[in-house]
């Protein structure tokens, strides 16, 4: 099977390129395939002739999207449409990555795939539009929603850092940290997400999937766990999302449940605390996992 990765130098793309056997993968960056260029995207897909395309590309500076919707829709909707058309033309499977932000966050228990989306920001609307485009244009697709991603490459769309690195960096210059407690999610390690996407592709059970590490926490809890695992003492204070005066509205509760994966007997993702520990180990923050 030939699997073409769009955005192979991004956070998730880097881990997909690690997980998928070298002989099966065609890693591409925006310099090889820019999905906003319809003709070149089609040409490239015809040239590489993959069996599966995994689209990790997104415009996901969530606050910038509120000020200017055009780049968000260019990548997250029109780019996805270009890719879906090209996949249809060469008859290959499209794996498209989406987000927990498609939900409004009003639930108090984990969202399953059959829950109704209600996006609250320009970014979220553009991502849901991308999902709907894939569904309406293709039969052979996987839409994979995940949440709070962190991986060794860092998030390219957010300046090459992820939340974990951001907190560790802030702790070197600030005596105390204030972190949001009223947004609850299931932070997910891109290594775990990439492995599960690769397994899911083999099943050919097309459709919509939530894939996240197990459990849930607020950004505040997540930060406390980072410094607990690093055995570093720092004052961490709870604050609410309002204090940050962010332009985009974020869901208060966006924990996802891997319900569809569970039905396939494939929901064996580890708890977010274990995944975080594995990440810190992979980044070289400690030599060995701390004993529980």
Q: Which residues bind ligand NAP (CB under 6 A)?
A: 6-7, 9-13, 30, 33-36, 56-58, 60, 75, 79, 97, 99, 146-149, 155-157
Helix or strand or coil: residue 224? helix
Radius of gyration of the chain (CA): 19
Residue 209 appears among annotated catalytic residues: no
DSSP 8-state class, residue 246 = -
Half-sphere exposure of 115 (CA within 13 A, CB side): 26
The nearer residue to ligand NAP, 78 or 229, going by C-beta atoms, is: 78
Tokens of 25: 């993968």
The nearer residue to ligand NAP, 110 or 173, going by C-beta atoms, is: 110
Q: How far apart are CA 263 and CA 49, in angstroms?
A: 32
The nearer residue to ligand NAP, 57 or 229, going by C-beta atoms, is: 57
The nearer residue to ligand NAP, 11 or 121, going by C-beta atoms, is: 11
Tokens of 247: 């332009």
Q: What does each C-alpha distance from 16 to 45, 147, 280 come to in angstroms?
A: 19, 16, 19
Does the CA dihedral 142-148-150-155 come out positive or negative?
positive
The nearer residue to ligand NAP, 149 or 234, going by C-beta atoms, is: 149
Specify whether the CB–CB gap between 111 and 210 falls below 8 A: yes
Compute the least distance from the CB of residue 210 to ligand NAP, in Å: 11
DSSP 8-state class, residue 152 = T
The nearer residue to ligand NAP, 147 or 218, going by C-beta atoms, is: 147
Specify whether the CB–CB gap between 247 and 100 falls below 8 A: no
DSSP 8-state class, residue 269 = P
- Within 8 A by CB and 6+ apart from 87, the residues are 45, 53, 93, 94, 138, 140, 141
Closest-CA residue to 97 (of 34, 144, 154): 144
Compute the least distance from the CB of residue 130 to ligand NAP, in Å: 8
Q: How far apart are CA 272 and CA 279, in angstroms?
A: 10
Compute the least distance from the CB of residue 192 to ligand NAP, in Å: 13
Phi, psi torsion values for 53, nearest 5 degrees = -115, 130
Compute the least distance from the CB of residue 6 to ligand NAP, in Å: 5
The residue at minimum Cβ distance from ligand NAP is 10
**Annotated catalytic residue within 59, 101, 111, 123:** 123
Compute the least distance from the CB of residue 231 to ligand NAP, in Å: 26
Compute the least distance from the CB of residue 22 to ligand NAP, in Å: 19
Catalytic (active-site) positions:
123
């Amino acid at each position: 099977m030939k699997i073409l990765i769009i955005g192979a130098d991004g956070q998730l793309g880097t881990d997909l390129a690690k997980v998928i056997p070298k002989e099966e993968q065609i890693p591409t960056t925006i310099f090889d395939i820019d999905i906003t260029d319809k003709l070149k995207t089609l040409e490239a897909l015809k040239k590489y002739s993959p069996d599966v395309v995994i689209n990790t590309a997104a415009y996901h500076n969530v606050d910038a999207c509120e000020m200017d919707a055009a780049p968000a829709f260019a990548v997250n909707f029109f780019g996805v449409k270009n890719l879906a058309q090209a996949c249809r033309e060469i008859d290959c499977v499209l794996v498209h990555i989406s987000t927990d932000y498609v939900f409004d966050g009003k639930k108090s228990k984990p969202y399953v795939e059959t829950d109704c989306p209600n996006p609250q920001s320009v970014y979220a609307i553009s991502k849901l539009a991308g999902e709907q485009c894939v569904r309406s244009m293709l039969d052979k697709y996987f839409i994979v929603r995940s949440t709070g991603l962190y991986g060794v490459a860092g998030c390219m769309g957010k300046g090459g850092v992820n939340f974990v690195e951001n907190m560790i960096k802030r702790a070197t210059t600030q005596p105390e940290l204030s972190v949001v407690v009223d947004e609850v999610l299931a932070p997910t390690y891109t290594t775990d997400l990439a492995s599960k996407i690769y397994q899911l592709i083999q099943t050919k059970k097309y459709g919509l999937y939530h894939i996240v590490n197990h459990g849930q926490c607020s950004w505040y809890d997540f930060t406390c766990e980072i410094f607990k695992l690093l055995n570093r003492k720092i004052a961490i204070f709870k604050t609410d999302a309002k204090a940050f005066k962010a332009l985009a509205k974020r869901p208060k509760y966006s924990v996802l449940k891997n319900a569809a994966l569970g039905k396939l007997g494939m929901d064996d993702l580890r708890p977010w605390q274990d995944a975080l520990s594995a990440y810190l180990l992979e980044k070289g923050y400690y030599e060995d996992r701390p004993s529980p």
